[in-house]
Amino acid sequence: MQTPITYFFHDDGAVPNNPALPMLVYKAALDLSGVRDPEAEIERLFDAHDWGHGRWRNGIFPYAHYHSMIHEVLGIARGTAKVRFGGNNGEVLDLAPGDIAVLPAGTGHQRLAASSDLVVIGGYPPEGTYDLCRGDRPSDRDRALKTIPNVPLPGCDPVGGKNGALTMLWRGA
């Protein structure tokens, strides 16, 4: 079982982040070299672990945003991206095909740069409600501070399933 890199982000005054749960990044979680349909490969993984709800194929918004009522998973199917997680004081990560990031509710993310062929697969667990909050809207942050602690923990890790790292790392938080 692959061990993810964990990141904790503090509230930066615009993006609340998650005060209790770390963001998880699985570098090269999937070997997509030579895979004809990498999007479908990531979708199968997310579906198998109940993270395919509200699934989408697209990119990452170029502005700081977060979700205050649901956790999110991002899988890079094609291309590369430079993404800032955690708001202005967060971490800038280079993401490539096969990388998967699991964002607890409240975690800011913003695309800073990307290749023209970038395709991201996003999904959500069945617990929670999708919302889109922006780092430049103080009213979003005020509401998010109340909703983030109440977002239910998912039953599975989107990469490792019921025995994946998320279940241990997030339940112990």
Rounding to the nearest 10 degrees, give the CA dihedral for residues 170, 65, 76, 58: 130
- In tens digits, the chain (173 residues) has pLDDT values of 689 999 999 999 999 999 999 999 999 999 999 999 999 999 999 999 999 999 999 999 999 999 999 999 999 999 999 999 999 999 999 999 999 999 999 999 999 999 999 999 999 999 999 999 998 888 999 999 999 999 999 999 999 999 999 999 998 66
- Counting the structural domains of the chain, the total is 1
Residue 168 lies in a domain: no
Domain with residue 142: its CATH number is: 2.60.120.10
Residue 167 lies in a domain: no
3-state helix, strand, coil in the chain (%, to 5): 20, 30, 50
Residue 170 lies in a domain: no
**pTM, to two decimals:** 0.96
Range of the domain at 59: 5-162
Residue 169 lies in a domain: no
Residue 172 lies in a domain: no
Residue 88 lies in a domain: yes
